[in-house]
Structure 1
Amino acid sequence: MGCFSSKPDDASVLIRRRPASIGEVAVFVPGLRVPEPLELPPPLADSLPRRLTERLAASRDRIANMAAREALAVTKPRRRAATQHGASTSADLVQALEEYLPVILGMAKDGSELEDKIQFAWMNQEDDAEETALPSAWYEVLSVLHMMAMLRLSQANSLLLPKTSLEGYHTKVSEENKRASVEVFLKAAGHLECAMHQVLPRMSPEKRKGLPVDLSEGVLKATCMQALGQVT
């Protein structure tokens, strides 16, 4: 599928021209949905390649732990957590998701016997009771793309927030940050477009009915329009 193999900058085709600058805005970012620990009943675990199950479990645990740190960073956007390499937690989490995505796509590809063998569970960070589990690799792909889009929106929000000087004054958002936010909005829109047009159609009507509200086609479309609305 084209949206999975394309480069991040390819999302720029979604609009014809980029504005020279955009106004100072705040972006609404829905709560992150994070993966729950992978639980496999013994008969199923014994029938699956051990290397695959270990990689799935390790990747999901890593993403969940990084998402917890990102949630803390989002609550204090002016003091975002940094890694030992100096990159933001958000950027590292996006990279972890990008590395995990090919593993899930391998399970979801046409003809794969693993597409509906494993039940994947995700929980909304803002509501512990809102957990959705479905036996579908495409649901996992959809959840990963949604998380990547939400992280991009959070990154754009951070770029557009006025910084506080040492004297306590709010400084104006730089034109450089405004231009950078355009690229980030386009990446978020690209993830959401891919989710709507390349992933949802591959899920059965029954499984689509079981999706949480955040992953419904209407909400994905509205969030995508919000992202594109910031750059048009």
Structure 2
Amino acid sequence: MGCSVSVLGMRKKKPNIPEVSVFVPLMRIPAKSNIQISLKGLVPNDLLDKLSSLRNQILLLTEDTDGSSTTQIWPVLEEYLPVLIGLTEKDHGLEELVEFKWKTVTRHQEASLSNSWFELLSVIHMMTVLTLSEANSLLIPEEHLGSEIRTVSTDSKRDAVDLLLKASGYIEFCIHEILVRIPPETKRSLPKDLQEGILEALSIQALGQGTEIQLGLAMESQKASLSVKRRLACEQLSYFSQAYGCLSQCDLSHGYGKKHLWFIKWKFLEAKAAAYYYHGLIMDKGTDPSSSISAVCCFAAAEELLTESKKACLSFCLANPVSRIPPFWGSMKYLNQKIPEVALKKSQMYGYLLEQEKGLQVLPDLPEFQLSLRPNDYRLPEMDPAWDRESWEIESQTLKEHLKDQEDMY
């Protein structure tokens, strides 16, 4: 009996294979840094304690939960930012005094840079990941996790769009307000997943996914016309095309790099299938033979793209780290059924025209539209009042204390 119990006790737990609706980058979390030693004697002790304490809280919370407890982490991040901003102020002369260390939740990669802008970049990147993770959770209700059916409420979809726009805004701030302040030689030492191209792709794809959700909502609305649905599908295609262009120029040898690329390919193909399907429906309303033939070409292209998108989805799911094959939901739940049906029906209906007018069998170009979604504007909070230097009282440090601190750093 004892042996059987011990064998059972040694059985491995089933791996927790996640389901992905919104692509969430690999979380980076703080690693221990010697803030107090680096800044001792340069800023007041109470400010130093606050800075160090808040960062340590983030470190402990993220290590305990692998960054999954957003409700606990957010308040600390929001409290840490105003204090951290003081280190980036040029007038304070402290930008490059602290060596900030960050690591991935998998503990496989660690980055260490003596630059307070790197710390700010890492914090806002963490905020982005938490926001995308929250959007992903909204679109994968726990009661449907692993199920072949996924039902997402309208409110959850709209909330997810808001979160995607917020995440895109965070990344745009990183690109245009933080990366530009990091010296080129330091920028070259940034972790690969903080490259400008990867951040830009992440921002654009968030807008693409927001548009994808809007397309699904339009399909559920009786008021949305074919033109509106085609426009949304074409906009979604434009976003993912841009995101792919950004990502394809980057070094993707980091953690989720290849999986990220497969995600964008998958979504790009889905969007293109949807765009050609709705373009075909509009072309089919024409009365001349060329319109009917163009419509059939659109439906055939949509069906082929749908097949390719399923292959890309499988490649995405198999790419490291492995994820579940998601059920069809939103716009694709409808299109996965309708595209093959309509393609077959229309090819049979207009088969005689295809034989007679072979010269007209040319896939028409998709229309281009001005993109509707924009990232939310993000601004940093006000700097903590504790950085008011007029009220500072800094204790002097003896040579012996200074030498001891230097020993503690190594």
Q: Same fold (TM over 0.5)?
A: yes
**Counterpart contact for 1:70–1:90, Cα < 8 Å:** no
Distance 1:36 1:211 in 2: 15
Shift of 1:162: 3.5
Name the counterpart of 1:35. 30
The superposition leaves residues 176-219 of structure 1 with CA deviations (integer Å, 9 ceiling, x where unpaired) of 10011011111111110000000000110011011001111011
Counterpart in 2 of 1:189?
A: 168
Q: Which residue of 2 aligns with 1:206?
A: 185
Q: Which has the larger radius of gyration?
A: 2
**Secondary structure at the counterpart of residue 122 of structure 1:** strand
Mapped partners of 1:97, 1:197: distance in 2: 21
1:153-174 deviations in Å (ceiling 9; x for gaps): 0000000003317xx8855111
Q: What RMSD over aligned residues (CA atoms) do the two structures have, in Å?
A: 2.2
2:131 is aligned with 1:152: yes
Question: What SS does structure 1 have at the residue aligned with 2:34?
Answer: coil
Amino acid across the alignment from 2:83: V
Instruction: Indicate the SS of the match to 1:129.
Output: coil
What's the counterpart of residue 115 of structure 2?
136
Counterpart of 1:202, as a letter, is R
Q: Per-residue deviation at 1:50?
A: 1.9
From 50, 58, 72, the counterpart of 1:63: 58
**Equivalence for 2:81:** 101
User: 2-side partners of 1:223 and 1:103: how far apart?
Assistant: 27
Q: What is the TM-score with the length of structure 2 in the denominator?
A: 0.44
What residue is the counterpart of 1:49 in the other structure? 44
Equivalent residue number for residue 176 of structure 1: 155
Identity of aligned residues (%): 38
How many positions carry a matched residue from both structures?
A: 190
Unaligned runs of 5+ in 2: 1-19, 212-410
In structure 1, C-alpha distance between the alignment counterparts of 2:50 and 2:122, rounded to whole Å: 18
Q: Residue 40 of structure 2 aligns to a residue in which SS?
A: helix
Q: For 1:132, what is the secondary structure of its paired residue?
A: strand
Whole-Å separation in 2 of the counterparts to 1:53 and 1:38? 13
Higher helix share: 2
Q: Higher relative CO (CA 8 A, sep ≥ 6), structure 1 or 2?
A: 1
Deviates more, 1:42-51 or 1:96-105: 42-51
- Counterpart of 2:220 in structure 1 is none
In the alignment, what sits opposite 1:21? Answer: none
Question: Conserved in 1, the CA contact under 8 Å of 2:36 and 2:49?
Answer: no
Listed one character per residue, the Cα deviations across residues 114-133 of structure 1 (whole Å, up to 9, x for unaligned) are 1111111101112x231111
Kindly indicate whether the alpha-carbon contact (under 8 Å) linking 2:28 and 2:104 is maintained by their aligned counterparts in 1: yes
| Distance in 1 between residues matched to 2:108 and 2:47, nearest whole Å | 29
Distance in 1 (CA, whole Å) between partners of 2:172 and 2:195 is 13
Q: What is the TM-score with the length of structure 1 in the denominator?
A: 0.75
* Equivalent position to 1:118, from 98, 108, 122: 98
Query: Conserved in 2, the CA contact under 8 Å of 1:119 and 1:133?
Result: yes
Contact 2:38–2:97, Cα closer than 8 Å, also in 1: no
